[in-house]
Structure 1
């Protein structure tokens, strides 16, 4: 057994020890702070790390919502593609007995659907990050607009309420 461990090794060992503990027991914030203190981590460093972790947790949840939104948009696009092209192929088969002109929208739109699928499931790019930031700003604006609308509506209802 080595006498010293680097930070990464300590993290891995503690994660494995907690996992082996079996029964999932949540720790209070104070217990976690005490563990950090026992490891020589100052209260200030612990507070900063906790804030960073909370911010990252919020962003991770937002990314899950964003990914779900993107996948739903792609699914809707793929369904429209399938329905419209099935209709076009049906018309083509009924009118000429074979698939002639319907192949062109099928292939052209199919390329667009394939590119959309690639963009939807590619999450390690600068474009993904740009779209996420744009979506995040839009969500925040929508939330603020909703809050303002609710407050204005409440005030108007209060003023217009018969006495």
Structure 2
């Protein structure tokens, strides 16, 4: 609740965010244990709040678009981390083979440390880059993945 300088009677006033939270809480309490609402119920609630059907439709479309974008981002993130996981698995299998071969032929680990180190550094860098991907770079990578996926 925010205090208002223009409010001589000490009638509470609320910010837009507070109004939204209070109304969401009231809607939850009004429909006791109901998990899903029909479009008619949604329209009725909007009408009670003096929200026009057009505004409701635009809000619903925006919500659906945001939901779709979030799902795409989650799928992209899952893809990126699965790709890194597969690369680590390949790295471990390949280098286990090299170390085993080196042990069998030389009786010690000597030359196998070089590919282990060089490939490992590259993989660590790729993992680090994947974990830091954000902002504009993330958006470009997401667009590239979406194009590749749809092709």
TM-score normalised per structure 2: 0.78
Say yes or no: does 1:23 pair with 2:30. no
Note if 1:44 corresponds to 2:54: yes
Q: Which has the higher helix share?
A: 1
Aligned residue pairs total 141
CA contact (8 A) 1:92 1:102 kept: yes
Q: Say whether 1:75 aligns with 2:89.
A: no
TM-score (norm 1): 0.73
Mapped partners of 1:129, 1:13: distance in 2 = 35
Aligned match of 1:159: none
Residue among 15, 18, 22 paired with 1:6: 15
The match for 2:147 is 137
Decide whether the 8 Å contact of 1:92 with 1:100 is kept in 2: yes
Shift of 1:29: 1.4
Q: 1:122 touches 1:128 (CA, 8 Å); kept in 2?
A: no
- Which residues in structure 2 correspond to 1:58-137 (within 5 Å)? 58-137=68-147
1:81-130 alpha-carbon deviations (Å, 9 max, x no partner): 00011111112222222222211211211122222222333453322211
Give the ranges of 4+ consecutive aligned residues of structure 1 lying more than 4 Å apart after TM superposition.
Answer: 19-22
How large is the Cα RMSD of the aligned pairs?
2.5
**1:34 and 2:44 equivalent?**
yes
2:6 paired residue number = none
How far 1:21 moved relative to its partner?
Answer: 6.8
Higher relative contact order (CA 8 A, sep 6+): 1
**How much does 1:33 deviate?**
2.2
